[in-house]
A and B are shown apart, each in its own frame.
Chain A
Amino acid sequence: MNPEKQPPQDDESPGVPGFRTWRGVYLFVIGCFVAVVALLTLFTHLTA
């Protein structure tokens, strides 16, 4: 059996409240990253 012929699992629901797709989860993680960088930049300026 060729494993690649199995049905793709990428469409699996993330099962996280508020997120219907994995794309949404990835965007949320990118949003968190941007927020953390923004907060660190602010922290750098405030403490300089």
Chain B
Amino acid sequence: MNAFDWFVLLGTMLGIAAYGAWRTRHTDTLNTYLRGHQSTGWGTIGISVMATQASAITFLSIPGQGFESGIGFVQNYFGLPLALIIVCAVFLPIYRRFGVYTAYEYLGRRFDTKTRLLGAGLFLLQRGLASGVTIYAPAIILSTVLGWRLDLTIICTGLLVIVYTVLGGSVAVSLTQKWQMGVIFGGMITAFVILIVKLPAGVGFGEAIGVAGAMGKLEAVDFSFDPNRRYTFWSGLLGGLFLSLSYFGTDQSQVQRYIGGAALREGRLGLMFNAVLKIPMQFFILLLGALVFVFYQFQPAPVFFNRAEWRHHVEGANGQAFGALEEKHAQLHQAKEAKVRDWLGARAGRDDVAEAAARAEMVAAQQAVEVVRKDAKAALVAADPRAKTKDSDYVFISFIMDFLPHGAIGLLVAVMFAAALGSKAGELNALGSTSTIDLWRQVRPLAAADEARNVRVAKWLTAMWGLFAIGFALFAGFAENLIEAINILGSIFYGVVLGIFLVAFFLKKVGGTAVFWGAIAAQLVVFGLYFSLSISYLWYNLIGCAACVAFSLVLQGLRGAPGENAA
């Protein structure tokens, strides 16, 4: 990165943060601090919902996913539009009718305090721990590639987001997210255009799509029922529906984004905006990754995209073996480029027989390269059993650093930071709100009427969660297994929380005690299954939800009387 890149990066990131903090510095009513301005329109809500979901990892990992496995991952989002329609039709009107600040406050009104605390506690545990990972995960990739100090990257990103989120609350979050999404869209479109322009002479967009398709990278939809297939239409529709319903309907970091606004209409249209745009947006990001794959067919590519890790081993004791793998990969990669050009020639000649033969040779050449890449990963593990062999997260950032002009590099790095700040801000805002409304107010019920004090407490608690996230991220490097555990923890809690909300909305005869113990039992079942089965985490959303609903019904049936606090 040169001075111009730094100017673009710091100008956009500091400019947006400073603007957000300055514009919202006088936010002093609790309602505005937690729910945003009454005048917030559907466009702002829609962008805020999108920005909260799209973290930096979305823009680092998803192009890498397109590069490595193709665009089939898009199917994971197929349940999202249907889930958002359910949230619009059922969840949102109830939240607004009750006038709640948090989703868990509704559980308190519908059931009792213990169920409210269970919902809030599960959210704080899962989201609070994950908040450190949201900073750590992109910071480790960006600091590795850019050569920055990891601790400084984490501290600077964390402090920047704390300043404007604490000062302006929900208003600052949605205001800055709007500008951050502008940077993200601008940057991703710039990368796409430059990628197409930089393809070699004679290879246009149509040819690039042809190569990606022939290499099996453009299989977007798979209707098969094979459970061994990672992404299919059915797993995406069903698993994705439950995951999205849990995330958008019960996770405070999302609920807080859409419960504000002048009327119910604004939240609903904001969610529908996401229901229509999310799949095309994910398709675009994955396609970008597939086109980066095509781009590298005509450029020398590294055998392992996490170059810092690879270099460390090349310069180590087994350097010769790693060097030999590197050389073999370079030769095979060059041979493959010739095969790709042969295939493009055969395709242009419209000779079906020649085209089929050239395609088979091209695919075989690609498979030979994949074998060397696998050998390289095996060599890394042999040299260091703790080595990280997943290099797809480094593909897009490597492309940016190696092939984009100065200025565009700064813009694309700004995209990653904008996404990190946007999702982090939504998360901190929700953690601060839930701690204030669902926990602090329980301890200090008499202080609930003192609005200024509530705002002060919400600000302190938001700052505390921010500092906790920074602290956790700084120590996360020492406990990589913990990060994985936290990610798993999140996915196995979501289903049960959704179950509690579905009982609240649809089973009016079930009361607080039945749903509380039903949820605890369901969570134990999910933990038990997790340790005894090996199934995709998407299914735990469905199992946890179904178990919670079933146990609640059974327990209420055993108790006999209708729900004691049912509204």
Contacts and interface: CB of A to CB of B under 8 A. Distances in A.
A29 B93 contact: no
Nearest to B276: A32
Interface of A: 2-4, 6, 8-10, 12-16, 22, 25-26, 29-30, 32-33, 36-37, 40-41, 43-44, 46-48
B268 A4 contact: no
* List of 3 A-B pairs having minimum Cβ-Cβ separation, nearest first: A47-B213, A40-B220, A47-B218
Interface in B201-220: 209-210, 212-213, 218-220
B265 A30 contact: no
Interface of B: 74, 78, 81-82, 84-85, 88-89, 93, 96-99, 109, 209-210, 212-213, 218-221, 233, 263-265, 268-269, 272, 275-276, 279-280, 283, 567
Contact of B265 (A3, A15, A40, A44): A15
B268 A14 contact: yes
Given A3-B98, A10-B93, A37-B233, A26 B88 contact: yes
A47 B212 contact: yes
A29 B221 contact: no
A41 B264 contact: no
Given A36-B279, A40-B221, A44-B221, A22 B89 contact: yes
Contacts of B109: 3
Contacts of B275: 29, 32-33
A8 B212 CA distance: 51
Given A32-B81, A43-B220, A25 B74 contact: no
**Residue with the greatest number of chain A CB neighbours at <10 A, chosen from B209, B212, B265, B280:** B265
A16 B269 contact: yes
Given A30-B81, A43-B218, A47-B213, 5 more contacts: A14-B265, A29-B275, A37-B233, A48-B213, A48-B218
B442 to A, nearest CB: 20
Contacts of A3: 97-99, 109
Residue from the set B88, B219, B220 with the largest chain A CB neighbour count within 10 Å? B220
B99 A30 contact: no
Contacts of B85: 26, 29-30
A32 B98 CA distance: 32
Contacts of B269: 14, 16, 25
Contacts of B99: 3
Nearest to B567: A4
